[in-house]
Amino acid sequence: MTELQAGQGAQPLEVPRIDARPQRYRDVLIALAAFALLALLPFIFGSKQLLDFVIRCAAYGLFATSLNLLVGYTGLISFGHGMFFGLGAYGFGLMMQKTGVAIPVAFVATLAMTFVVAVVIGAICVRLKEIYFAFVTLAFQMLIHSTILSWQSLTGGDQGLRGGIPRPPFLGIDLSNHLHLYITSCALLVIGLFLMRQIAQSPFGYTLRMIRDNATRASFIGIDVWRAKLTIFVLAALFAATGGMIMALFVSGAYPEFAYWTISGEGIFINMLGGVTTFLGPMVGTMLFLILNDTVTRLTEYHGIVLGIVILFFAIGLRKGLMDFAVEWFAQRRGEGRG
Partner 1 sequence: MTRTRKPGISRRSTLALMGAGAATLAAPWVARAQAKTIKIGMPTILSGRVAQLGTSSRNAVMLEVEKVNAAGGLAGRQIEMVIRDSKGQPQEAARIARELVNTDGCEMLLDGEASSGSFAVHEVARDLGVLCIHTCSEASSLTADPKQHIPNAFRCVRQGIHDSIVGAGYAAGIAKAKGLKKWATCSPDYAYGRDTTGEFVLYLKKFAPDVEIISESWPKLFQPDYTEVVTKILQAKPQAMYSCLWGGDLTSYIDQANIYALFTQMEVFAVNMADYTALTVVKNLPKGIHSGDRYIKTFPATPENAAWGDAYKAKYNEYPTNWSWQNATAVMFLNEAVKKANSTDGKKVAEVLTGLTIKCPFGADGTVTMRADDRTLVGYAIGWGTTIPQEPYVPDVKAGDWKTIFELEAEWKKSKGYT
Whole-number minimum distance, CB 333 to partner 1, in Å? Answer: 36
C-beta closer to partner 1: residue 198 or 252:
252
Render the burial of 240-263: b for 16+ CB within 10 Å, e for the rest. Answer: bbbbbbbbbbbbbbbbbebbbbeb
Three-class DSSP category at 173: strand
Per CB under 8 A, residues contacting partner 1 are 47-49, 52, 56, 149-150, 152, 156-160, 162-164, 176, 247, 250-253, 255-258, 262, 293-294, 297-299, 301-304
Q: In angstroms, rounded to a whole number, what is the distance separating the alpha carbons of residues 226 and 20?
A: 26
Spatial contact of 52 and 250, defined as CB atoms under 8 Å apart: yes
Spatial contact of 58 and 81, defined as CB atoms under 8 Å apart: no
Task: Give me the sign of the Cα torsion angle 253, 192, 175, 271.
Answer: negative
C-beta closer to partner 1: residue 150 or 214:
150
C-beta closer to partner 1: residue 195 or 292:
292
C-beta closer to partner 1: residue 159 or 332:
159
Closest CA to 123 of 47, 7, 227: 227
Whole-number minimum distance, CB 229 to partner 1, in Å? Answer: 30
Partners of residue 170 on adjacent β-strands = 173
Q: What residue type is assigned to position 127 of the chain?
A: R
Whole-number minimum distance, CB 172 to partner 1, in Å? Answer: 21
Whole-number minimum distance, CB 296 to partner 1, in Å? Answer: 10
Whole-number minimum distance, CB 295 to partner 1, in Å? Answer: 11
C-beta closer to partner 1: residue 243 or 321:
243
Dihedral Cα 326, 332, 338, 339, nearest 10 deg: -160
Whole-number minimum distance, CB 68 to partner 1, in Å? Answer: 21
Whole-number minimum distance, CB 286 to partner 1, in Å? Answer: 14
Spatial contact of 20 and 201, defined as CB atoms under 8 Å apart: yes
Whole-number minimum distance, CB 165 to partner 1, in Å? Answer: 8
Q: In angstroms, rounded to a whole number, what is the distance separating the alpha carbons of residues 237 and 174?
A: 27
C-beta closer to partner 1: residue 191 or 251:
251
C-beta closer to partner 1: residue 168 or 202:
168
C-beta closer to partner 1: residue 25 or 302:
302
H or E stretch covering 139: helix 130-150
Q: In angstroms, rounded to a whole number, what is the distance separating the alpha carbons of residues 34 and 80?
A: 30
Q: In angstroms, rounded to a whole number, what is the distance separating the alpha carbons of residues 15 and 267?
A: 38
Closest CA to 281 of 324, 252, 241: 324
